[in-house]
Amino acid sequence: MTLAAIAAGIIWWLLPQAPPASWTEPEVEMLESLWIANLKPLPSDPTNAVADNLAAARFGQRLFFDRRLSANGAISCATCHQPERRFTDGLPKGQAIGASKRNTPSIVGVAYSPWLYWDGRRDSLWSQALSPLEDSNEHGSNRSHIVRLIAADPSYSEMYALLFGDLPESDSVDRAFANIGKSIAAYERLLMPGPAKFDRYVATVVAGDETSQQEVFSEDEIRGLRLFIGEANCTQCHNGPLLSNHEFHNTGVIAFPGEVPDKGRVAGIREVLAHPFSCTGTYSDDPGRDCAELKFARTGPELIGAMRTPSLRNLENTGPFMHKGQIETLAQVLQHYNKALPAMIGHNEVKPLGLSGRELRQLEAFLLTLAAPLATADQWLRPPLHDPAEIAVDQAGGNALAESIVTTESL
Amino acid sequence: MSTRRCKVFGTLVLLGFVLSGTAHGAEDSYWLSDRQIYKLVYTSALEPPEINRIHEWLLHIETITGDVVENAEVTVDGGMPLHNHGLPTRPRVTEYLGNGNYRVEGVRFHMHGQWEILITIKAGDIADSVTIPLQL
């Protein structure tokens, strides 16, 4: 009896599954909504007057890779946000002078999000960029040191003056510090995801070309996609062309070993509402201070343990996953959703999926089709080393970055 | 009377207009409040509706007899009944524009599916609410 059941199971396993049926009209609409071709132009950031200024982006790129901004001269943003790992570090938690509290997220495409950080405790890229500089575990520096550095470096002070006026007379330290953040933000706004195999698949679906559909996607990938937008409910939160709603959800990820569960958004919203560098603060360039996201933000107990939904266009080479790197592999992430255990704090919004091992593998096969190179030109994905002082610092740091020297002329 | 029955009634009134061919454009399509005290017309700045974008709505409110409702206390809430959660933002009326028109700011939807927007209107001592279903 049992043997027969096992045999039947094996036969079922070996039999090819019926080919996946073609897509219904609502499904095609859903696929189109996830298509990178439907990614809107990056919204402007009225709080940052240089957000889309190329000179500011060049200045910001240099700051992003410059270790002199740190207390020990050894840390830059790229220590943790490494371009070759899609701007992550491969660690459960960021590591610099000390350990960060959370996992280093990719910053590719993050300019689309109204909120920054896992708990959304900043509301602009420029205000976010100022925090690691003064975080004792990260750059461990402070604003006066950094503003002095800009003033002392002739090429920096020239770039600064062109954008914001002369340093230091014209500006207070806080204003100059905000301007540094705004330049880094202008750089980060250039880091965008490119089209993936998934997007080529959607193109064939939209064109109604069934033969090409089967050439682009394997049967497992098609089935995985069907689960993703259907039974597995992933598009409830991972929606839109970046596969993120940029909102906060409790998905019951267990606490980091030896730590109390992370409060997430309930704490993040409190912090951003009171932050001096927020949209409503004096350093925002938005004269009308529209600040709709901040003014109409929701607070409340349903945000306990809620984290911002990450984009799924940054999964390749970016593990471990989740806000503290609690989950090592994609297969384990899917098991986590399949079980959906009650949350340690707050309320887990997702329900157990009850998918089979085969279905989970199909879902994973689909997730892998979202991998793609950045849409950003290579020159932005490495340090623009051309300043002798910086090259000296880098060589002293024993780093082989000199290989990737690019000159400003090539930019 | 339950809210749901009233909504059905509101929809029937609307349907009635459409079927009997008496609709003269937008002004005749309105949402009726639960106790049939107010009529509401809304326009969204995002048409067709879209997820993940914060935007404004304009509300026009009249009494059932067609008098514009001035300076009412109007609140906006909502959620996804099937998922048992609310809106991701806290929209509110930020301005009374005159002639029964109200500006609502801070509306955003973060998921596809069936939403409901609940608008409560209180003019003088008379409060009533309107539930608007929305498919995103």
**CB neighbour list of residue A105: distance below 8 Å, 6 or more residues apart:** A88, A118, A310, A314
Residues of chain A with a CB closer than 8 angstroms to some CB in chain B: 30, 33, 114, 235-237, 239-240, 245-248, 292-293, 295-299, 302, 349
CB atoms within 10 A of CB A226: 19
Q: How far is residue A175's CA from residue A181's CA, in Å, rounded to a whole number?
A: 10
Q: Is A127 within 8 Å of A115 (Cβ atoms)?
A: no
**Given this model, what pLDDT does residue B84 score?**
83
Q: How far is residue A178's CA from residue A275's CA, in Å, rounded to a whole number?
A: 13
Output A62-65 pairs: Cβ under 8 A, ≥24 positions apart: A62/A156, A62/A159, A62/A383, A62/A384, A62/A387, A62/A390, A63/A180, A63/A183, A63/A184, A63/A187, A64/A184, A64/A187, A64/A188, A65/A382, A65/A383, A65/A384, A65/A385
Task: Output the CATH code of domain A54-191+377-404.
Answer: 1.10.760.10
Strand, helix or coil at A292?
Answer: helix
* Interface contact flag, A296 B105, Cβ < 8 Å: yes
Q: How far is residue A153's CA from residue A62's CA, in Å, rounded to a whole number?
A: 12
- Residue B54 to chain A, least CA–CA distance (Å): 7
Q: Is A311 within 8 Å of A250 (Cβ atoms)?
A: no
* Interface contact flag, A240 B52, Cβ < 8 Å: yes
> Would the pLDDT of A2 be above 90?
no
* Interface contact flag, A296 B86, Cβ < 8 Å: no
**Given this model, what pLDDT does residue A14 score?**
56
The whole-number average pLDDT for the span B58-80 is: 97
The minimal CB distance from B112 to the residues A30, A248, A299 is found for A30
Token pair listed for A397: 């740091």
Task: Find the closest chain A residue to B106 by CA distance.
Answer: A296
Which residue is listed with tokens 């990737």?
Answer: A404
* Interface contact flag, A239 B106, Cβ < 8 Å: no
The whole-number average pLDDT for the span B99-113 is: 97
Percent of chain A exceeding pLDDT 90 equals 83
Token pair listed for B53: 């974008």
Alpha helices in A217-339 (DSSP H): 219-229, 265-273, 292-295, 330-339
Domains and CATH numbers, chain B: 5-135 (2.60.40.1930)
- Residue B65 to chain A, least CA–CA distance (Å): 34
Strand, helix or coil at B82?
Answer: coil
* Interface contact flag, A296 B111, Cβ < 8 Å: no
Helix (H) or strand (E) holding B117: strand B114-123
Per domain, the residue ranges of chain A are: 19-41+195-264+304-370, 54-191+377-404
Q: Is A171 within 8 Å of A164 (Cβ atoms)?
A: yes
Residue numbers in B near A235 (CB within 8 A): 111-112
The minimal CB distance from A295 to the residues B83, B86, B106 is found for B106
* Interface contact flag, A297 B105, Cβ < 8 Å: no
* Interface contact flag, B111 A239, Cβ < 8 Å: yes
**Given this model, what pLDDT does residue B12 score?**
39
A19-41+195-264+304-370: which CATH topology?
Answer: Cytochrome Bc1 Complex; Chain D, domain 2 (1.10.760)
> Would the pLDDT of B22 be above 50?
no
Between A5-19, A106-120, B57-71, the lowest mean confidence (pLDDT) is in A5-19
Residue numbers in B near A290 (CB within 8 A): none
* Interface contact flag, B52 A246, Cβ < 8 Å: yes
What band does A7 get if pLDDT is binned at 50, 70 and 90? low
Percent of chain B exceeding pLDDT 90 equals 74
* Interface contact flag, A245 B111, Cβ < 8 Å: yes
CB atoms within 10 A of CB A310: 24
**Given this model, what pLDDT does residue B131 score?**
96
What band does A13 get if pLDDT is binned at 50, 70 and 90? low
Average pLDDT of chain A, as a whole number: 91
What band does A297 get if pLDDT is binned at 50, 70 and 90? very high
The minimal CB distance from B89 to the residues A237, A239, A296 is found for A296
**Given this model, what pLDDT does residue A407 score?**
31
Residue numbers in B near A236 (CB within 8 A): 83, 111-113
Q: Which residue has the higher pLDDT, B28 or A210?
A: A210
What band does A288 get if pLDDT is binned at 50, 70 and 90? confident
* Interface contact flag, B111 A246, Cβ < 8 Å: no
CB atoms within 10 A of CB A80: 22
The minimal CB distance from B87 to the residues A235, A240, A298 is found for A298
Between A94-98, A364-368, A396-400, B76-80, the lowest mean confidence (pLDDT) is in A396-400
Residue A214, burial from CB neighbour count under 10 angstroms (0-12, 13-18, 19+):
middle
Residue numbers in A near B92 (CB within 8 A): 296
- Residue B85 to chain A, least CA–CA distance (Å): 9
Q: Encode pLDDT of A29-67 as tens digits.
A: 999 999 999 999 999 999 999 999 999 999 999 999 999
Q: Encode pLDDT of A148-171 as tens digits.
A: 999 999 999 999 999 999 886 656
The whole-number average pLDDT for the span A362-367 is: 98
Residue A288, burial from CB neighbour count under 10 angstroms (0-12, 13-18, 19+):
exposed
> Would the pLDDT of A403 be above 80?
no
Name which of B55, B80, B90, B110 to mutate to probe chain A: the one with the most chain A Cβ atoms within 10 A of its Cβ: B110
- Per CATH, A19-41+195-264+304-370 and A54-191+377-404 having the same topology is answered yes
* Interface contact flag, A246 B91, Cβ < 8 Å: no
The minimal CB distance from A245 to the residues B51, B85, B86 is found for B51
> Would the pLDDT of B64 be above 70?
yes
Q: Is A114 within 8 Å of A244 (Cβ atoms)?
A: no
- Residue A139 to chain B, least CA–CA distance (Å): 33
Full-model pTM: 0.89
Which string of DSSP letters, residue by residue, matches A177-228? Answer: HHHHHHHHHHHHTT--B---HHHHHHHHHHTT-HHHHHHHS-HHHHHHHHHH
* Interface contact flag, B105 A247, Cβ < 8 Å: no
| Bridge partner residues of B118 (DSSP) | B77, B131
